[in-house]
Amino acid sequence: MRIFLDTSDVDVIRQHCETGLIDGVTTNPTLMMQAGRDPVEVIKEISSLFPGYASISAEVVGDTAEEMVSQAKDYYSINKNITIKVPCSVEGLKACKVLSDKSISVNVTLIFSVEQAILAAKAGATYVSPFVGRCEDNNIDGIGLLETINKIYQLNKISTEILSASIRNLNHISESFKAGADVVTLPPSIFEEMYKHDLTDQGLAQFDEDWKKVNHK
């Protein structure tokens, strides 16, 4: 049961890494654009925050598998904790097979069907990333998709791990793990919500009040 952060904001990642609760990071071109920096330099900096094993997903783009594989070299040469992120397309899966045959970790993203997850596993993906929230946006049962992928992987002894993505709320986290996800990747705002509960706040306030009374006796 692992938690990744879905962001390219190095300062935010550093802040949450200090908790010891973050197991990796996922990024994408949109998040890189928001960072406004050279993607390779951003990935280098993120990678340096995880001295032990972690998974830092760096997404490649291109019209052909050759372009994706070529771009991937800029990332996987940084550190052994880099995972190359490719789309679940014909060319993306070709790139996945080439990279996985070289023992390079690959995350196949934009998974919206069981069939896509099967193909990604066949291509040697380390992770598949079903988009739970975006599935729901399009009247697809995202959690049900996770459950079915997990069942098929278990029945066929497939080692590819399920990385639940497009997480929109706290319920998505618990339901993803319940459905068999190995990892959830979260926007920092959702991760921060995991700490919170009204009863916890009330309890802390009561403890604080009682402690002050004790100290004033």
Residues with catalytic annotation? 85
Q: What is the DSSP string of 106-157?
A: EEEEEE-SHHHHHHHHHTT-SEEEEBHHHHHHTT--HHHHHHHHHHHHHHTT
Residue (of 175, 178, 159) closest to 167 by Cα position: 175
Q: How far apart are the first and last CA of the chain?
A: 46
d(CA 66, CA 76): 15
Residue (of 75, 74, 71) closest to 61 by Cα position: 71
Q: Token match 């995202």: residue?
A: 142
Q: Which residues contact 134 (CB under 8 A, 6 or more apart)?
A: 112, 142, 166
Cα 41 to Cα 23, 58, 107, 139, 148: the distances in Å are 20, 11, 20, 38, 38
> 59: helix, coil or strand?
strand
Residue 11 CB coordination number (10 Å): 8
